[in-house]
């Protein structure tokens, strides 16, 4: 018979094996970033914060672009102390307000002459029905349209700094998404779970179309599924908060969740894979809807119309 200590040791060992299985890939590149400039949205917490920490450790000048500046300053102070890199800066960016996005971009472009990596990391999940300052459904407005506009406003600086990269966080949830052009704002029917899925599909389609339009510019782009991560993203769902606590040992840490973002931002030789979708630090398959070029192009045009911009 096994003693209780032996059983506990076995369960602990087994649990660690399972957790490591779910942990996924690790960014292996040793690329250093001295002299490089990075913008990361939502980097005051979670995956974004860990991404900022690693890029700062590699010598980059990192801009934490976030809505809560106080939390951003706290994160930046922690990262500066941890990495001994003083060039971790915080700037106000509210992706639910196009005026804030434009103000951030205007300030950044006046401040910096280069931009080598843009990581569209911020996002919302499972929000009750609400609209942004510009009248967009919140998931669509923040997760897709906000980053769409931000990328457009910073694109010339990325081109001038090439080789450069744009990394956009999506999710495996895109498989359940659909671009409902007849009801993009969810006014006819709204389900907050599906609204999140639709916005994550939009992220993959945006990356696909952006890659096509950036061919030959030296700027490449990638969509990322970070994994199922212990983070604040589920804060709008009481049920998911409970499930996250219950299954916490099997979820990725924020450090593990940041690895695929880092891989796509840093790994050598990824240029031929521009426009692709990555999970666990490797290219992986997307849903049939995410491979539809006509949908990607139509979403691009509709996004421009909604934002009142031109982007050929």
The residues annotated as belonging to the active site are 196
Token pair of 310, please?
């031109």
Instruction: Compute the distance between CA of residue 246 and CA of residue 234 in angstroms, rounded to an integer.
Output: 14
Are the beta carbons of 136 and 185 closer than 8 angstroms?
yes
Token pair of 141, please?
């407005």
pLDDT in tens, 12-63: 333 443 444 445 799 999 999 999 999 999 999 999 999 999 999 999 999 9
Which CATH architecture describes the domain 32-306?
A: 3-Layer(aba) Sandwich (3.40)
pLDDT in tens, 118-165: 999 999 999 999 999 999 999 999 999 999 999 999 999 999 999 999
Residue 246 has pLDDT above 80, yes or no: no
Alpha helices per DSSP H over the chain: 4-23, 46-57, 69-83, 98-111, 138-139, 147-160, 192-213, 238-246, 254-257, 259-266, 293-307
Give the chain's largest Cα–Cα span: 73
* Mean pLDDT, residues 176-201: 97
Please give the pLDDT value at position 143. 98
Taken as a whole, the chain contains a residue count of: 312
Please give the pLDDT value at position 251. 76
Query: What SS3 state is found at 167?
Result: strand
Please give the pLDDT value at position 243. 53
Alpha helices per DSSP H over 161-237: 192-213
* Threshold 0.85, pTM exceeds: yes
Residue 115 has pLDDT above 80, yes or no: yes
Please give the pLDDT value at position 17. 37
Token pair of 254, please?
């924020």
Instruction: Give residue 289's pLDDT band: very low, low, confident or very high (50, 70, 90).
Output: very high
Please give the pLDDT value at position 227. 87
Instruction: Compute the distance between CA of residue 254 and CA of residue 55 in angstroms, rounded to an integer.
Output: 15
Q: Within 10 Å of residue 163's Cβ, how many Cβ atoms? A: 11
């Amino acid at each position: 018979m096994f003693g209780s200590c032996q059983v506990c040791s076995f369960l602990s060992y087994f649990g660690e094996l399972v957790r490591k299985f779910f942990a996924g890939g690790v960014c292996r590149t040793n690329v250093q970033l001295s002299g490089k400039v990075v913008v990361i949205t939502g980097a005051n917490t979670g995956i974004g914060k860990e991404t900022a920490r690693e890029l700062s450790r590699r010598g980059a000048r990192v801009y934490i672009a976030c809505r809560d500046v106080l939390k951003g300053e706290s994160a930046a102070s922690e990262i500066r102390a941890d990495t001994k890199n003083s060039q971790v800066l915080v700037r106000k960016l509210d992706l639910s307000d196009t005026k804030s996005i434009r103000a951030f971009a205007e300030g950044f472009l006046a401040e910096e002459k280069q931009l080598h990596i843009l990581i569209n990391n911020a996002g919302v999940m499972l929000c009750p029905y609400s609209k942004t300052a510009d009248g967009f459904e919140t998931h669509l407005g923040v997760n897709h349209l906000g980053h769409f506009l931000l990328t457009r406003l910073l694109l010339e600086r990325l081109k001038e700094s090439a080789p450069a990269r744009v990394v956009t966080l999506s999710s495996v949830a895109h498989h359940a998404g659909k671009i409902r052009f007849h009801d993009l704002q969810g006014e006819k029917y709204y389900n907050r779970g599906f609204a999140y899925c639709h916005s994550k599909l939009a992220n993959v389609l945006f990356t696909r179309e952006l890659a096509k339009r950036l061919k030959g510019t030296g700027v490449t782009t990638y969509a990322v599924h970070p994994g199922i991560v212990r983070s604040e993203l589920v804060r709008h769902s009481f049920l998911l908060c409970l499930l996250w606590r219950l299954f916490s040992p099997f979820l990725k840490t924020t450090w593990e969740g940041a690895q695929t973002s880092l891989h796509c931002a840093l790994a050598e030789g990824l240029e031929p894979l521009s426009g692709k979708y990555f999970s666990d630090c490797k290219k992986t398959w997307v849903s049939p809807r995410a491979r539809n070029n006509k949908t990607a192009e139509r979403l691009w045009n509709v996004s421009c119309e909604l934002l009142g911009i031109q982007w050929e």
